[in-house]
Amino acid sequence: MRPALLHLGAALIVMACGLVWRLVPMGLPGFFLNYGGGVLWGAMVLLLVGAVLGGRGRGWITPLAAVGIALAAELFRLYHAPALDAFRTTLAGALLLGRIFNPWNIVAYGLGIALALPLHVLIRNTRGR
């Protein structure tokens, strides 16, 4: 199977886990509920970047791009406009953009990227099999 499809499949699984994490009441402590979702989001970003790049490029390009996207997404929360803030109050807005800037989310995203990196490398190395 092609690396892009494997990355996409893995990203879809992580997305499903993230939705369950955020939407299904599991009685998790607030710390795990808040930052566990961020860890899953970071992993999803890495896998989506891997799907877009399809295993091409040097080994450091995908994780570096994922870190850049995660950092930009969190910093984007510092930008406020009435329509954007109204969208952020919806469930879709909260899931896609988040509501408020939190520097600890960047740490959670980085952890998710780091935890998903071995899977990315494994998928990337399936090329040609």
The reply to whether 109 falls in a domain is yes
The reply to whether 59 falls in a domain is yes
Q: How far is CA 78 from CA 12, 51, 62, 98, 100, in A?
A: 28, 28, 25, 11, 7
The reply to whether 49 falls in a domain is yes
The reply to whether 129 falls in a domain is no
The reply to whether 15 falls in a domain is yes
Mean pLDDT, range 3-31, rounded to an integer: 92
User: Tens digits of per-residue pLDDT, 31-88?
Assistant: 998 899 999 999 999 999 999 987 676 778 999 999 999 999 999 999 999 999 999 9
Domain that holds residue 54: 3-124
120 pLDDT higher than 80: yes
The reply to whether 108 falls in a domain is yes
98 pLDDT higher than 90: no
Domain tally, the chain: 1
The reply to whether 36 falls in a domain is yes
